[in-house]
Structures are given as C-alpha cells and as structure tokens.
C-alpha cells in the first residue's frame, strides 16, 4: 500500500473505511522488521498481537461502532512503559517483566484506537542520553547510522524519523524526549509534570518524570497528547486539572517570545547557532515580538545533577545493594555517583528548583514562551563519550542536556521543533511554556509549522531495506 504518513490521515481514512487498519499496521510492521538490523530501534515486535488489534478495530468500524481519534494508527512505545502481556525490559539486562495491566497512557492510546506495534530501545533504565545499550545494543540514527539517536528515548525517535511509525511514546526526565527528537530531526513534547499519568511507567526520578509523544509534525504530536493527557486518581503524581482542547494554529503576530540570557546564549555548534539566529530573524519578519530576558537562575548548576541523582538512587538502591554488576558499565558508574549524593545536597537542590521556578514564572509575565536551542551538539558518534563544541571536548551528556534538563526541574512543558538547515540532522529549537500551557504551546508550534518556520525532513539516505548494514564496515 502507499504510505500515508500523517496520523490524522491514517485515522480519518480508517474511520471512513477508505482503508483498513490492518493494512496500515502491516505496512508499519514490515518496515519495523526490515529496519532492525540497521537501526535496532526495537527491543520487541509482536506482529500477531498487533494485527489482531488492528483487525478488531476494522471489525468495530464495519459494525458501525465509533472508534477514537487514533483509529488504526501504528504506535511504538518505549520499553519502560507497561503494556499488559508484553515484556518490559526497562532497557536492562535483567529478565523482562510481563505486567498484568497497562500503564494509563497505553490504555488511553488503545482506547483512542491506536495499535501498539512494538517496544523501542532506550538507554538502560532511561538513565542516559545516547541509547547505546550495553544489553540490547546501540540504537542507530537514520540520519547517520554511525551516530546515536540520543536518549533515553532513542528507539522511539529513530522509529519515527525513519518513517517506521508516524508517532511514538517516550519518557522525559531531563530531556529524554526532546534530545532524541532534536538528534533525529522530529518533534517531541515534554509535558508539565503531572499532566500525563505516570502509573505503569518505571521511574527514573518520579518528581521529574514525564511521558510525552514524538512525531513528524506538531499536529500529530498534539493528537497523541490529547489522547493521553488528564488526571488519573490512581496515580500519586497526577494533577486533577482540566485539559483544554487544542484549537487552530496561533496568530504569530500576537506572540511574544523570550530568549533567556545567559542560558539561551551558551556555546553551541555553529550550524545550530546559525540556524537558531536565522529562525529568530524569521520570527521577527513574521511579526513575532522577540525579547531578550535576563534569567541567571537558569544557568548551569551542580544542583541539577544532585537532585536527579538523589532521586534515581532511591529508585535503584535495593537493586544496587543486591548486585551492582547487574547494571551495564555506564549506568553502573552513574548509579555509584548517585549513591554518594547526601540528603543535605538534595535539600539544596530542591531549594534551587523553587528559586529557579519562581524566576521563570516572573519571566512569563512578559512573554508567551521562552526559546533556546534544544541541544548544543547535533551529532554523537556511537562509542564516543565526548562531542566537539566550538573546539572544546565536552561530555556528550552535558552537551545534549544543557538546554533541556532545567525544564524538568521547574516542571514546565517544552516542545522540540526541527529547523531547516544544511546539517544532518537538521538543527532544533526548544519552546518552553509556563506550567499547564501545553495547548497554547502546541498551537504556537502548529503556527510555526504552518508558516514554514519549522520543518520536518526525511533522512535522505536511509532505507529500511538496508538489512545488510554492518557497523564494522561503515564506521
């Protein structure tokens, strides 16, 4: 069948019986399976179960029943989110768990008619930014198979960028949706903490964890967001707050964007800085009011790491005490460092979070959104621990997270959007909204997409038929 790339096109076609969910799911499955040797985006694909789910949707529609907004849409989910009866590995080397019930976000996806086709690879226990997994192998980037797709939701981003599925789910604790979205040239949404229930999602740092969609357009990401957002009384982190319906694209002439200094001006690779500056100028031409705002509290701080490490140590303490060697080398080193963070350091981190949050809220009295580059470096070679930023060797995790991790600590939503540019992958911009402003943030993103200020491109060289890809011969 001919590919229909848009989520909304697939769902509309299936609901109107112009096409069958089974055909869309079969097409996605064939591409997912054919890509595994080159991308390694999945830890698990269940063809039979996915096709049965798709057939059930077709049967409901044939019987005249109403099916939801994601009818027949193939979706991939990060292998740290529970799906009833499917193995959940957490990206670890330990035996997979077979949950007896699905995470709230998965139940909501399926209730909307989505079909889960597989579980995507990630950084072990979501504790990292490369998705180079010691146990399951490195996930690869369709823009350059020698490179990481970022992490920790690397498989979710790789699958979408490669056109295997139109949308996927990831988790974001310090940038784990937005970083791979940026490195794979797609759209990724980090929600306000408490907006999407965490029930059934293995934690990294629960006070910071979020679940969010990745897609090839803001419109598609918005559709998944509408399906999964909202209160779950069974989830202790969920907030009983109304989810506003997403309207048409915003009027850019009524938007004020703030560039937070000095945070937004931190060193980035030239292709990212050139594209970001050109995008700012294009915004001004389009009638957007752009202001530079001084928010020194958003600068780098050791307290960011102290906060997340203390919370991660709490999650892993019992496993760690049983046997530290059950973790892969990189994550083992991180957890060892996490175990050394004291309660006093953690309290200082919490104090810093509150102060930074307050300073950012004051900034939102004068702007609608804040904007920064999404990452400081657009590529990371698999196996390398550092990246080059303006001639300086920088730890890859620092370069990937310097614009994203603070957003989790203040709890606000953010949207990663691809820009036009000559680099592979293309540059990316991060829009940050005030808490609970996902609807407005997505409407602004849709407006930028409509006006061509952001654009999603296809990786020019990758094809799923590259089944004979040999990393050793292509480095």
Given a cut of 60, whether residue 66 has pLDDT beyond it is: yes
Residue 227 lies in a domain: yes
Q: Helix 21-39 and helix 47-62: axis angle, to 10°? A: 160
Alpha carbon distance 219, 203 (integer Å): 28
Contacts of 309 (CB under 8 A, 6+ apart): 334, 337, 338, 341
Other CB atoms within 10 A of residue 30 CB:
13
**Mean pLDDT within 164-192:** 98
Residue 83 to residue 55: CA distance in whole angstroms: 19
CATH number at residue 190: 3.90.1300.10
pLDDT class of 471 with cuts at 50, 70, 90: very low
| Whole-number pLDDT of residue 1 | 47
What's the DSSP call for residue 240? -
According to DSSP, the residues that pair with 171 across neighbouring strands are 211
Q: Which domain does 47 fall in, by range?
A: 7-295+373-474
Residues labelled as active-site residues: 78, 152, 176
For residues 187 and 416, is the Cβ–Cβ distance under 8 A? yes
Question: At 125, phi and psi to the nearest 5?
Answer: 55, 20
Confidence of residue 422 (pLDDT cuts 50, 70, 90): confident
The DSSP bridge partners found for residue 258 are 291, 370
Which pLDDT score, from 0 to 100, does residue 460 have?
84
User: What's the pLDDT tens digit per position in 241-261?
Assistant: 999 999 999 999 999 999 999
pLDDT tens digits, one per residue of 314-363: 999 999 999 999 999 999 999 999 999 999 999 999 999 999 999 999 99
What per-residue confidence (pLDDT) applies to 4?
54
Residues 356-384: pLDDT tens digits? 999 999 999 999 999 999 999 999 999 99
DSSP 170: E
Residue 463 confidence (pLDDT) above 90: no
Tokens of 106: 């998965």
Q: What percent of the chain has pLDDT over 70?
A: 97
Beta strands in 317-373 (DSSP E): 369-373
What span, in angstroms and rounded, lies between the C-alpha atoms of 105 and 232? 10
User: Mind listing the pLDDT tens digit for each residue in 201-232?
Assistant: 999 999 999 999 999 999 999 999 999 999 99
What number is the average pLDDT over the span 125-129? 98
Mean model confidence pLDDT for the chain:
95
Region label for 60, one of left (φ > 0), alpha (ψ between -120 and 50) or beta (otherwise): alpha
Instruction: Give the pLDDT confidence of 190-207 residue by residue, as tens digits.
Output: 999 999 999 999 999 999
In this structure, what token pair is assigned to residue 239?
């907030």
Is residue 79 one of the residues assigned to a domain? yes
| 349 located within any domain | no
- Is 15 among the domain residues? yes
Kindly report which listed range (109-113, 326-330, 346-350, 419-423) carries the lowest average pLDDT score.
419-423
Torsion angle of C-alpha atoms 431, 433, 435, 438, degrees rounded to 10:
-80
pLDDT of residue 474: 46
Q: What is the pLDDT of residues 264-285, one digit of tens each?
A: 989 999 999 999 999 999 999 9
CB 123 within 8 A of CB 151: yes
Residue 465 pLDDT: 63
CB burial of residue 452 (10 Å; 0-12, 13-18, 19+): exposed
Residue 325 lies in a domain: no
The rounded distance, in Å, linking the Cα atoms of 57 and 52 is 9
Q: Are 82 and 200 in contact (CB under 8 A)?
A: yes
DSSP-assigned beta bridge partners for residue 167: 75, 215
Q: How many Cβ atoms from other residues are within 10 Å of residue 234's Cβ? A: 10
Collect all residues with Cβ–Cβ distance below 8 Å to 268 and sequence separation of at least 6: 276, 373, 375, 376, 377, 389, 390
Confirm whether 343 is domain-assigned: no
Interatomic CA distance for residues 191 and 206, integer angstroms: 14
Answer whether residue 182 is part of any domain: yes
Is residue 199 domain-resident? yes
- Alpha-carbon distance of 51 to 254, in angstroms, equals 46
Please state the domain count of the chain.
1
What's the mean pLDDT in 37-53? 97
188 falls in which pLDDT band (50, 70, 90)?
A: very high
Residue 468 pLDDT greater than 90, yes or no: no
Average pLDDT score over residue span 100-127: 98
CA distance linking residue 296 with residue 34, whole number of Å:
48
Neighbours of 381 (CB within 10 A): 14
- Looking at residue 432, its pLDDT comes to 98
Q: Looking at residue 319, what is its pLDDT?
A: 95
pLDDT value at 472 more than 60: no
State how far the Cα of 87 lies from the Cα of 68, in Å rounded to an integer: 26
């Amino acid at each position: 069948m001919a590919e229909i790339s848009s989520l909304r096109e697939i769902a509309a076609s299936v609901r109107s019986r112009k096409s069958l969910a089974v055909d869309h799911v079969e097409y996605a499955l064939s591409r997912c399976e054919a890509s595994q040797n080159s991308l390694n985006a999945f830890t698990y694909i269940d063809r039979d179960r996915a096709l049965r789910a798709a057939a059930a949707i077709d049967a409901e529609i044939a019987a005249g029943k109403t099916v939801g907004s994601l009818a027949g849409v193939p979706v991939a989910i990060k292998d740290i989110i529970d799906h009833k009866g499917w193995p959940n590995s957490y990206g670890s080397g330990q035996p997979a768990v077979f949950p007896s019930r699905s995470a709230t976000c998965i139940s909501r996806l399926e209730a909307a008619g989505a079909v889960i086709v597989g579980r995507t690879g990630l950084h072990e226990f979501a504790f990292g930014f490369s998705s180079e997994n010691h146990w399951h192998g490195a996930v690869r980037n369709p823009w350059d198979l020698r490179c990481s797709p970022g992490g920790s939701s690397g498989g979710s981003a790789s699958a979408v960028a490669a056109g295997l599925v139109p949308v996927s789910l990831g988790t974001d604790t310090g940038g784990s949706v937005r970083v791979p979205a940026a490195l794979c040239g797609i759209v990724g949404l980090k929600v306000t903490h408490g907006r999407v229930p965490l029930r059934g999602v293995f934690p990294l740092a629960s006070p910071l964890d979020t679940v969010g969609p990745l897609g090839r357009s803001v419109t598609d990401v918005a559709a998944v967001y509408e399906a999964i957002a909202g209160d779950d009384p069974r989830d202790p982190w969920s907030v009983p707050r109304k989810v506003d319906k997403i309207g048409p694209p915003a009027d850019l002439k009524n938007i004020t964007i703030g560039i937070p200094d000095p945070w937004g001006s931190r060193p980035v690779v030239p292709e990212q800085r050139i594209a970001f500056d050109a995008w700012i100028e294009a915004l001004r031409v389009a009638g957007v009011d752009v202001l530079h705002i001084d928010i020194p509290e958003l600068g780098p701080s050791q307290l960011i790491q102290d906060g997340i490490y203390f919370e991660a140590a709490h999650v892993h303490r019992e496993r760690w005490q049983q046997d530290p060697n059950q973790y892969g080398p990189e994550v083992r080193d991180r957890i060892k460092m996490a175990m050394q963070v004291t309660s006093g350091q953690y309290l200082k981190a919490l104090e810093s979070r509150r102060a930074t949050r307050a300073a950012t809220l004051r900034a939102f009295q004068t702007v609608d959104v804040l904007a920064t580059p999404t990452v400081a470096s657009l590529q990371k070679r698999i196996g390398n621990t550092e990246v080059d930023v303006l001639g300086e060797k920088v730890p890859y995790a620092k370069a990937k997270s310097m614009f994203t991790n603070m957003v989790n600590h203040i709890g606000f939503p953010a949207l990663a959007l691809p820009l036009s540019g000559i680099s592979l992958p293309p540059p990316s911009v991060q829009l940050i909204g005030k808490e609970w402003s996902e609807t407005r943030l997505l409407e602004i993103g849709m407006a930028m997409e409509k006006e061509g200020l952001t654009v999603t491109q296809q990786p020019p060289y990758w094809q799923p038929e590259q089944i004979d890809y040999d990393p050793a011969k292509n480095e």
